Amino acid sequence: MSVALAGRSPTTFEIKSASLPLLALRLKSPDLQVLEDELRAQYGDKPDFFDHDLLVLDLSTLQAEASEEASPAELDFPAIVALLTAHRLRPLAVRGGNDEQMAAAVAAGLLAANDVRVQTAARPPEPPPTTATAAQPEPSALEAPPPGALVIDRPLRSGQQVYARGRDLVVMAMVNPGAEVIADGHIHVYAPLRGRAIAGARGWPDARIFAREMKPELVSISGVYRTSDEALPGEVWGHAATVRLQSSEEAGDKLIFEQVNA
């Protein structure tokens, strides 16, 4: 037999569980000058790309790569905080460091948050070389962007930039050389793509780029990019094609270009 009993609760407040949208920056090198240079190269021409987003600094890769004989990397956390703040990021917590690093991070005003889960993409299987149908990747651990898309129905000229924050981007006209399209989700260009296309901009590795005529200056998915300095295969260049990211422990990250048959 079950019994329901009346309870009491405070009249002035309630305690509820909550979740925050957090970005994670996985630090791969203690060299802050290299970090500053690469942040400037990646986002220097996009000053509004971040909007004071809360961020967790993940040191687990530094720990994994350190040998038993090597001394732990010394990190200047106040300098890291200042550098990320300059790029409109708000470092909130740190995870994955050794005892000395975590203590230094806390002294710099960051929270020790080893229980924060930094999600990574599931590794898709290698597609069989003899089959025409691509193998379906396993579902990503990262959450997909919400439904809906930003639709642009005008040509984009050199110097113009469009960013679909938190969703897909659909472009119905040409993306000219020097123009740039960015999306946190997929990018669809139903016209020639001759500028730059950056999909999965906030780290979603399952994002794809689709173009009716693939002639890009640059394509990037989840930070993995390829420029026009490296020629695309003839069966892709100038044809309807798609780009996806394939990752494996053995081969690393690769951009896979596939022709789309009408």
pLDDT at 17: 53
pLDDT at 130: 37
pLDDT at 165: 87
Higher-pLDDT residue of 1 and 229 is 229
Q: What is the DSSP letter of 175?
A: B
Task: With beta carbons less than 8 A apart as the criterion, state whether 135 and 125 touch.
Answer: yes
Q: Which distant-in-sequence residues (6+ apart) come within 8 Å of 158 by Cβ? A: 176, 177, 178, 179, 195
Mean pLDDT, all residues of the chain: 80
pLDDT mean over 11-22: 65
pLDDT band for position 162 (cuts 50, 70, 90): very high
pLDDT at 131: 37
Neighbours of 239 (CB within 10 A): 19
Q: How far apart are the C-alpha atoms of 83 and 104, rounded to whole Å?
A: 17
- Which domains does the chain possess? 23-112 (3.30.70.260), 149-259 (2.160.20.70)
Q: How far apart are the C-alpha atoms of 101 and 77, rounded to whole Å?
A: 9
pLDDT at 206: 92
Percentage above 90 pLDDT, the chain: 40
pLDDT mean over 152-179: 93
Residue-wise pLDDT for 94-134, tens only, equals 998 888 899 999 999 999 988 776 654 443 334 444 333 33
Q: Is 253 exposed, middle or buried (0-12, 13-18, 19+ CB in 10 A)?
A: middle
Residue-wise pLDDT for 53-79, tens only, equals 888 999 988 876 655 445 567 899 999
pLDDT band for position 199 (cuts 50, 70, 90): very high
pLDDT band for position 147 (cuts 50, 70, 90): low
pLDDT at 69: 45
Q: Taking the model in full, what pTM does it have?
A: 0.59
Q: Give, rounded to a whole angstrom, the gap between the first and last alpha carbons of the chain.
A: 65
